[in-house]
Amino acid sequence: MSSLRRRGVFVALGANLGDPLAQVRWAVAALDRIPDTRVLACSPCFRTPAWPDASEPPYCNAVCEIETGLSPQSLIDHALRLERSAGRQRGGARWAARTLDIDVLCDGDTVIDSAQCQLPHPRAHERAFVLAPWLALAPQAMIPGHGSVQACWNRLDAAARVGIERWPEFDAPRVNMGAR
């Protein structure tokens, strides 16, 4: 395990197949079990319209702040394993419905642009379904090259925000946030 632990690492969670709320709850707890990683805080969950095909079931989206000693690529590898554990099958249509999607949004002020890893997430700053829960969790968090989450939210046009609402039944899973 690394003794160098980084805060300011944000991860997005989303699901719209099966029981999306249960999938997101499971994912938060699973993130907390990744070696040398712990969940510090989790946003409320938001119900967001499916995109780009609004006829699909709505998504359940949340954002977590984690502390980790893992490299960004190792964290992404763990996220992909969690997606597979939740029944996610990659290789189909891009932006198709899914049992679980986990994206590393940013890792402090780290900027990486490689085929395997892009940080910050290249479209997080323009996606209302990411920004809404992130805004609820950490409005002043900075997205390298784009400004604060609040500033990115403010730049969205009103149409991008339509249909986004807090998921009323969401209660963040009981993980040992900050207790390790």
Catalytic residue numbers read 88, 98, 101, 103
| b/e sequence 78-109, b meaning 16+ C-beta within 10 Å | bbeebbeebebeeeeeeeebbbbbbbbbbbbe
Question: Scanning the structure block, which residue is given the tokens 């899914």?
Answer: 98
* Amino acid occupying residue 61: N
C-alpha 74/C-alpha 117 separation (Å) is 10
Q: Which helix (H) or strand (E) holds 128?
A: helix 128-137
C-alpha 65/C-alpha 38 separation (Å) is 9
* Amino acid occupying residue 83: E
Alpha helices for the chain (secondary structure H): 20-32, 72-85, 128-137, 149-155
The answer to whether 13 and 172 have CB atoms below 8 angstroms apart is no
C-alpha 106/C-alpha 101 separation (Å) is 16
